[in-house]
Amino acid sequence: MLGAGSRAMAADARVLKINTLASASAVNVPLQSALRSGLGEIAGFAPAEMRPTAKIPQIAQEVIAGAADMGDADIASTLAAAEAGADLKIIGLSYNNTDQVIVSNADKTKSLADIADRGGTIAVNSIGDFMYVMVLGALAKQGIDPQKVNFIEMGSSGDRARALLAGRVDAVPMHIEQAEQIKARGNYQVLVTPWKEYDDWFSAVIMATSGWLKADENKKAAVAVLKASLTAFRKTDSDYAWYKTQVGKYASSKDLKAADDTLLKPVWQQLTGEIKAFSDMEQLNPDAFAKIMPVYKQAGALKGTLDLGKVIDRTYLEQALKELA
């Protein structure tokens, strides 16, 4: 039901190319909703052309190569690229805090130490990504030698969950909704709750290159993307019914799309409550990043030579917050 005016506007509305993960879980839905529909409600912008990407490091690579305007990229590959000399800016957070939990079969495994003692195996998406670092960090916190644990690359969380069900691996990081779903299939319990271990562990960021951000129209686009994201985050925090409809539209898994309140409501409560996954991207600041850097350094994923103040750029977030106020 566009009026004549807004239709004219829609005609020359800008379509941003944004690279993102190939699969959207419960924690990804607000950003997906913001970019796929919310952005279109901002004057001068159409819904973004979302470009799902199966290999996580490829997201940042395509932004650096100029094949995409912005990326919803993982923090490890983004900072690693910046360390390698790519002129990148992190301008927002895809979510404020991770929702990943490490799950095991409680009949066999009671703790991470159990796994280390018998030389067990943990499956991650890919070696070196935020999930891998997160597990290493958890091991380090409990004083466990990571050399005693085997890591294997298993790809998507669905494949990881199946590996756990088959008893092929001892523990697997997965999204909280999957941790809920898998409980129905045996005595599967959460072994580590990273957001409790680290306070905040943000794993995905909204990023672009400095070169791209120089043009005024791109600056405007960056603000628009953040406005749409903040709006979706706030709506998620305040309105479960809205969030549920967005999950039905934008979640990748059919199981999650069709999830009823008994599954989804507790997930939403955790995401917005305990985890504080959304709100206003408060964690986008060098201090918060600095807190997690040692874990990345320890894991060998980053050298830690980066001036975080130069990579993290709050300008567009401040502008977006001001315009929304």
Partner 1 sequence: MQLGRLTTNILGIVLVLILWQAVGMHLGDALVATPVQVAKALPETLTDPEFWPALGLMIGQMMIGYLLALAVGIPLGIAMGRSRPVFTVVKPWASMFIVVSAAALVPLLIILMGRGLLFRTCIVFVATLWYVVVSITEAARAVSPRLLDVAKSFSASDFQRFRFVILPALYPYLLIAARIGLIHALRAMVTAEMFIGAGFGGLLNNAGLDLSTAPLFGLIVVLMLVSAGATELLRRVAGRAAPWYASRTGG
Residues that bind partner 1 (CB under 8 A): 22-23, 25, 51-55, 58, 61-62, 65, 67, 156-159, 161-162, 165-166, 178, 181-182, 185, 252-256
CB nearer partner 1, residue 54 or residue 215: 54
Task: Evaluate whether 37 touches 245 at the Cβ level (below 8 Å).
Answer: no
CB nearer partner 1, residue 61 or residue 96: 61
CB nearer partner 1, residue 165 or residue 308: 165
Q: Is 264 helix (H, G, I), strand (E, B) or coil?
A: helix
Write down the least CB distance from residue 61 to partner 1, Å: 7
Residues 6+ positions from 162 with CB-CB distance below 8 Å: none
Helix, strand, coil: what percent of the chain each, to 5? 50, 15, 35
**Phi, psi angles (nearest 5°) of residue 73:** -110, 165
Write down the least CB distance from residue 54 to partner 1, Å: 5
Write down the least CB distance from residue 275 to partner 1, Å: 20
Which of 178, 172, 233 minimizes the C-alpha distance to 25?
178
Task: Evaluate whether 21 touches 53 at the Cβ level (below 8 Å).
Answer: yes
Q: What is the DSSP string of 25-90?
A: -TTTHHHHHHHHTGGGGSTTBPPPEEEEESSHHHHHHHHHTTSSSEEEEEHHHHHHHHHTT--EEE
CB nearer partner 1, residue 183 or residue 303: 183
The residue written with tokens 């898998």 in the block is 182
Residues 6+ positions from 11 with CB-CB distance below 8 Å: none
Write down the least CB distance from residue 255 to partner 1, Å: 5
CB nearer partner 1, residue 55 or residue 196: 55
**Phi, psi angles (nearest 5°) of residue 170:** -95, -30
CB nearer partner 1, residue 98 or residue 178: 178
Write down the least CB distance from residue 178 to partner 1, Å: 8
Task: Evaluate whether 49 touches 17 at the Cβ level (below 8 Å).
Answer: yes
Write down the least CB distance from residue 22 to partner 1, Å: 4
Q: Is 200 helix (H, G, I), strand (E, B) or coil?
A: coil
How far apart, in whole angstroms, are the C-alpha atoms of residue 260 and residue 132?
31
CB nearer partner 1, residue 98 or residue 252: 252
Write down the least CB distance from residue 65 to partner 1, Å: 4
CB nearer partner 1, residue 67 or residue 152: 67
Q: Is 208 helix (H, G, I), strand (E, B) or coil?
A: strand
Write down the least CB distance from residue 53 to partner 1, Å: 7
CB nearer partner 1, residue 62 or residue 87: 62
Write down the least CB distance from residue 139 to partner 1, Å: 27
Q: Which tokens is 145 given?
A: 């030698």
| Side chain identity, residue 117 | D
